[in-house]
Amino acid sequence: MSPLTITSRDAATGPVLEITGDLDYESAPDLRKSLDSLTLTSGQLLVLDLAGLEFCDSSGITTLLAARNLATELGGDMALAAVPANTARILSIIGLDRVFTIHPDASTATTPRSAAG
């Protein structure tokens, strides 16, 4: 078991939370606390960078959904970046790959889209 570490940073598109370690029943409340203290304004994108995620159980998946719901309530959007293969497989099996916007990495997720595109 790897302890959960959450690092917050700002990008041009909005806040980025880098999630490292295990996102499970015991650590999911830590992510929820980070989300509750997050400043997200209308039109911004919340990116959860999962490059360092080692394990994610159903509590973790539920917390990812809660993050998406929070972003929507605040008038923003949410995306996942660098989703590990095992977590991507679970998201696909349960159909959440069609609910979440998924980017190959945080850099791609936080690149502002052009007004013309």
Chunked into runs of 10 residues, the chain (117 residues) has average pLDDT values of: 93 96 97 93 96 97 97 96 97 96 96 62
User: In this structure, what token pair is assigned to residue 7?
Assistant: 């690092």
To the question of pTM greater than 0.85 for the whole model, the response is yes
Sequence-ordered strand ranges (E) for 1-117: 5-11, 14-23, 45-56, 77-81, 101-103
Query: Which residues does 67 contact at the CB level (< 8 Å), separation at least 6?
Result: 31, 35, 46, 48, 78
Q: In the prediction, which pLDDT does 114 show?
A: 56
C-alpha dihedral over 63, 56, 17, 116, to 10 degrees?
-90
**Residue type for position 63:** T
Q: In the prediction, which pLDDT does 117 show?
A: 43
Q: In the prediction, which pLDDT does 65 show?
A: 97
Q: In the prediction, which pLDDT does 1 show?
A: 77
